[in-house]
C-alpha cells in the first residue's frame, strides 16, 4: 500500500514531537495511535482535503464507541482532538495547506475529581515497610521520597543512586525534558541513606529489584536491575492494602497528597506548580477547590449570621 501525503506528514510530525519538542516515546506512541485512527476513518490522502465535516463525522464515530461505562468519555475523545489540533498546527508551521487548527474545539468535560487519601492514611502507608531487609529499606525510602518530592513514578524510576545526600535538593528531568528542583525532607534523606548503606550491588539505579524472578529475568535480558513503573505501582498498592486503605492508591495519589499538603499549609499555587513540574498553571489549579481554606473561613465567618 502506497504511503499517502498525509501519512508521510504524520511521520514527520511524530519525529518533530520526539526530537524538537522532546516528548517521551510513550507520548509519541499515543499521538501516533490517535492520528492513525483518524486517518483510517476519514480515508483522506491529502491535507488540503481535510475539512470540518470529516472531523465532525469522526467525533460522532468516537462518541458512539463503547467505553467503560456506556460510551467513550468526552475526556478520552478530547485526546484525539488535541492530537489532531497539534498536527494541524504543525502543518500550518510548515506552510502546508489544510484545515485551520482553530476550528478544532474540545468537548466540555466536568471538573476533575481528585482521588485523595487522608493524612492518617498517608502516614500508615509510608510507615508500612517496618523491617530491616533490603526490600523494606528500599520501599520505605521510595515512599518517603514520593511524599517529600511529589515525583511522577517515571521520574522516580529514572533516578540514579549518585544523589548528593549532603544537600536538601536535587534536579530531576521531567516531562518534555524539563529540569526542575525537588526537595528532600529529613525523613526521606534518612530513609535513602539507610537503604544505600545496606546495598551491596553496583547497579547505577537508585531503586532496584530484589525478587529472584525479577533479577533472573533482568539478567537473561542483559538489563540492569532498575525497578519498572509497574513494579513501583504494585508496591504502593501492596502497602495501601496493608495499611487498611480501601480505595485504590497509586504513586500519583501520593503526588496529589504532596500538592494538597503544601497548599493546605499556605504554599502559593505558582510554587506548587514549579515543584510538580506542570507546564501550565491550569493543571495545578485542580487542587484549589479542595485546599482553599481561606474561602471556607470566609464562609464560616460571614454566612447565615442573621438566621436564628
DSSP state of 206: S
Q: Is 252 a catalytic residue?
A: yes
Catalytic residue among 74, 161, 238, 252: 252
175 annotated active-site: yes
170 membership: H or E segment, kind and range: strand 169-173
Say which of 31, 80, 239, 287 is annotated catalytic: 287
Neighbours of 283 (CB within 10 A): 13
3-state helix/strand/coil string of 40-88: HHHCCCCHHHCCHHHHHHHHHHHHCCEECCEECCHHHHHHHHHHHHHHH
What DSSP element (H or E) covers 181? Answer: strand 179-183
Report d(CA 125, CA 113) in Å as an integer. 22
Task: Indicate which residue of 73, 124, 175, 238 is catalytic.
Answer: 175
Catalytic residue among 140, 152, 189, 226: 152
- Catalytic pick among 10, 226, 255, 256: 255
How does DSSP classify residue 179? E
Catalytic residue among 53, 278, 296, 303: 278
Residue-wise DSSP of 238-303: HHHHHTT--S---HHHHHHHHHHHHHHTT--HHHHHHHHT-SSHHHHGGGHHHH-HHHHHHHHHHT
Asked if 243 and 125 count as a contact pair (C-beta separation under 8 A), the reply is yes
E strand or H helix at 173: strand 169-173
Known catalytic residue at 140: no
Helices 52-63, 25-42: crossing angle, 10 deg rounding:
110
| Dihedral sign of CA atoms 253, 259, 261, 264 in order | negative
| Active-site residue, 199 included | no
Phi, psi of 200 (to 5 degrees): -115, -5
307 three-state secondary structure: coil
Which positions are catalytic? 152, 175, 252, 255, 278, 287
Amino acid at each position: 500500500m502506497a504511503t499517502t501525503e498525509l501519512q508521510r506528514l504524520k511521520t514527520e510530525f511524530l519525529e518533530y514531537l520526539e526530537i524538537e519538542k522532546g516528548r517521551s516515546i510513550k507520548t509519541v506512541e499515543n499521538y501516533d495511535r490517535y492520528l492513525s485512527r483518524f486517518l483510517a476513518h476519514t480515508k483522506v490522502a491529502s491535507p488540503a482535503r481535510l475539512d470540518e465535516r470529516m472531523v465532525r463525522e469522526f467525533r460522532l464515530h468516537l462518541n458512539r464507541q463503547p467505553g467503560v461505562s456506556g460510551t467513550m468519555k468526552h475526556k478520552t475523545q478530547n485526546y484525539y482532538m488535541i492530537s489532531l489540533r497539534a498536527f494541524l498546527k504543525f502543518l500550518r508551521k510548515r506552510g502546508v495547506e489544510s484545515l485551520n487548527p482553530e476550528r478544532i474545539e474540545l468537548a466540555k468535560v466536568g471538573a476533575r475529581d481528585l482521588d485523595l487519601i487522608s493524612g492518617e492514611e498517608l502516614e500508615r502507608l509510608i510507615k508500612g515497610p517496618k523491617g530491616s531487609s533490603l526490600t523494606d529499606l528500599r520501599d520505605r525510602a521510595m515512599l518517603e521520597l514520593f511524599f517529600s518530592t511529589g515525583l511522577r513514578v517515571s521520574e522516580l524510576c529514572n533516578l540514579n543512586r549518585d544523589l548528593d545526600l549532603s544537600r536538601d535538593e536535587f534536579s530531576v528531568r521531567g516531562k518534555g525534558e524539563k529540569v526542575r528542583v525537588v526537595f528532600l525532607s529529613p525523613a526521606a534523606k534518612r530513609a535513602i541513606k539507610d537503604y544505600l548503606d545496606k546495598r551491596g550491588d553496583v547497579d547505577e539505579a537508585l531503586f532496584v529489584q530484589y525478587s529472584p524472578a525479577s533479577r533472573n529475568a533482568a539478567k537473561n535480558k542483559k538489563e540492569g536491575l532498575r525497578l519498572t513503573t509497574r513494579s513501583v505501582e504494585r508496591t504502593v498498592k501492596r502497602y495501601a492494602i496493608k495499611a487498611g486503605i480501601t480505595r485504590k492508591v497509586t504513586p500519583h495519589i501520593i503526588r496529589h497528597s504532596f500538592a494538597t499538603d503544601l497548599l493546605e499549609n499556605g504554599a502559593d499555587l505558582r510554587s506548587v506548580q514549579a515543584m510538580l513540574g506542570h507546564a501550565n498553571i491550569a493543571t495545578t489549579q485542580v487542587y484549589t477547590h479542595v485546599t482553599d481554606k481561606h474561602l471556607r473561613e470566609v464562609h464560616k465567618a460571614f454566612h447565615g449570621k442573621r438566621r436564628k
